[in-house]
Amino acid sequence: MSEQVDLSTIPVSPDGENKNDTNGSQTEEVPKPITVFHDKENFNVKHPLSCRWTLWFTKPASGKGDNWNDLLKKVITFESVEEFWGIYNNIAPVSELAVKSDYHLFKEGVRPEWEDPQNKHGGKWAYQFKDKRSVNIDELWLHTMLAAIGETLEDEEDGEVMGVVVNVRKGFYRIGVWTRTTGRHIASRGDGDVAGGKGRSLEKSKEILMNIGRRLKEVLKLPPNEMVEFSGHTEAAQAGSTRAKARMVV
């Protein structure tokens, strides 16, 4: 450029002071964008998620007469990265939860129950960590939640992932991913679109679910010889306290 630039036309000066408009008058200072990654308490910019998510908690039963609905508590719903970190930094880590406690992170409007209309034809991928002392469950659960809200467990158009769960039991930790379907054709049951997967071939449905299982295995940093199992909610409900037979493994 051959002409000297009028410095008064530059809205922000190099030293961040004396910001002027084209007439030379002082203008209101624009706050510098601060994200949660710069300051987790004083951020002023939010990064929205593609959908809203709800965190649930299951407290341990105090007796045999406790009802599931009384044990399951909704904690909070959020819709941005910043809100997620604000919640995560202020709740108890999984490693400090009592035995028979659970965290559930599900899309808003979906209860973490088999009976929910959006879950009843679905299933879950799950893996049990039997040596609790040798696993960093807090890190693995965090990565699982980030994969869910960041939608990296599936491709954008799949629409299978309903939520993720971590269970604290006496002999193990278990992390699972709940899906909308089990890969079967179920449109003939008259349930409309709630079951999902309409129009897919059996091969495509299985491919999508298998891909979710593989991605979960990567998130959990499992070696090739360790298997992640998929089972349907219907079979799990019928099995009761015993483990449902796996439909698929990766």
- At residue 17 the predicted structure's pLDDT band, cuts being 50, 70 and 90, is very low
From 125, 134, 112, select the one nearest 58 (Cα to Cα).
112
CA 185, 246, 143: angle at the middle one, nearest 5? 95
Per-residue pLDDT at 232: 92
Q: Which two tokens stand for residue 233?
A: 């909610």
**Where are the alpha helices (H) located in the chain, listed in sequence order?**
68-71, 81-88, 137-149, 202-219, 233-239
From 95, 90, 122, select the one nearest 106 (Cα to Cα).
122
Q: In terms of C-beta distances under 8 Å and separation of at least 24 residues, what long-range contacts does 95-101 make, across chains too?
A: 95/137, 95/138, 97/168, 98/59, 98/60, 98/168, 99/60, 99/168, 99/169, 99/170, 100/58, 100/60, 100/61, 100/168, 100/169, 101/57, 101/58, 101/59, 101/60, 101/168
Residue 29 has pLDDT above 80, yes or no: no
Span of 66-80, 115-129, 236-250 with lowest mean pLDDT: 236-250
Span of 68-72, 211-215, 222-226 with lowest mean pLDDT: 68-72
Residues contacting 77, CB < 8 A, separation 6+: 52, 53, 54, 55, 108
Architecture of domain 49-249: 2-Layer Sandwich (3.30)
Task: Read off φ and ψ for residue 23, nearest 5 degrees.
Answer: -95, 0
Domain limits, the chain: 49-249
Dihedral of alpha carbons 174, 175, 178, 179, sign: negative
Residue 59 has pLDDT above 60, yes or no: yes
Q: For the residues 76-88, what does the mean pLDDT come to?
A: 95
CA distance 152 to 156: 8
Give yes or no for a contact between 145 and 163, defined as CB atoms under 8 angstroms apart.
Answer: no
Per-residue pLDDT at 2: 44
- The rounded mean pLDDT for the chain is 82
pTM of the model: 0.78
Residue 37 has pLDDT above 70, yes or no: no
CA 210, 206, 120: angle at the middle one, nearest 5? 95
Residue 18 has pLDDT above 50, yes or no: no
Task: List the 101-107 sheet strands across, edge first.
Answer: 72-80, 48-58, 101-107, 161-168, 173-179, 123-129, 229-232, 248-249
Q: For the residues 122-127, what does the mean pLDDT come to?
A: 96
Please give the DSSP secondary-structure letter assigned to residue 54: E
Q: Give tens-digit pLDDT for 153-196.
A: 999 889 999 999 999 999 999 999 999 999 764 433 333 333 34
Residue 25 has pLDDT above 60, yes or no: no
Coil vs helix vs strand at 69: helix
Per-residue pLDDT at 125: 97
Please give the DSSP secondary-structure letter assigned to residue 114: T
